[in-house]
Amino acid sequence: MESENGADEAGNGRNNHEEKFHDAEDGLCRGNGNPDEGDARGKPGQGSGDIIARMPVPKYATHYKMDHKKRGLAYIFNHEFFQCGGLKARSGTNEDCKNLKACLLFLGFDVLEFKDLNYTDIEYQIREVARMDHTHHDCLLIAVLSHGEMGIIYAKDTPYKPDYLWSSFTADRCPTLAGKPKLFFLQACQGDKLDGGINLSKTETDGECYNTYRIPVQADFLIVYSTVKGYYSWRNTTKGSWFIQSLCEELKQKALHYDLMTILTFVSQRVALDFESNVPDSITMHRQKQIPCLMSMLTRLIQFTPPK
């Protein structure tokens, strides 16, 4: 139901098909004489152990280096209209994009905004930024505002697996970002489940020095989903999505005072406590809740410094 404050929306207006996933094949792992072994058969592939990348911080530094010459690039892929699957237009997404862009500019990012790209165009942009020299950058940030389902996110013309967005930035593929934070924010549904919430009531009762070190190529990623796998992600048609509203507000208030993981905890708190769907014409959709979901491979804390 639309009001002067906009209506809350969830989902993409079509039936969702659950994607099937399979566990890695169980089997004997051939050891190398050392006590550490894997839990599934490895896939033959090119090793990355001989690739050498510049060490941005000492081995046991508590924080990432966030005072390079530049903060880094921030790409926003904003999707409002679609040409596949009968997907509805995402009213309110331009407000999300505007607020997020302003917030990232405030933090010192060089922000590039892309509107309603086809998948091949997204592929091109990702390939190009992965080939760039990020030596003098603190980090990389990519945000996608779109429709989604279980395990997929939508470009204008087709769905794709979000893993593609970050797979090009592993340390072996993009050495100038090795040891630096790579941040991904996904505002999209991950399914069609609803979170009705629960009421809580109060109850009372009685330094070492190293010249070099190795890191996993998958290290230093942070992937933040607007909702938990299998669940709707809500968006107000006037003000934008709950998640992006909360993210921008918390970053504006706390980015220079707290580390990013702490800030994201407050983002989750804001989404969980301050928002509830307002769809009185639908008993099923009315008064529903949402909680973001984080997947962190970070090895240090991210503390934004005042932009240069």
Catalytic residues: 147, 189
Provide Rg for the chain, Cα atoms: 21
Residues 146/153, Cβ–Cβ less than 8 Å: yes
Q: Which residues lie closer than 8 Å to 251 by C-beta, 6 or more apart?
A: 103, 106, 107, 263
Amino acid, res. 129: V
Strands 148-149 and 8-9: unpaired
Nearest to 63 by CA among 287, 271, 258: 258
Measured CA to CA, the distance from residue 149 to residue 157 in angstroms comes to: 15
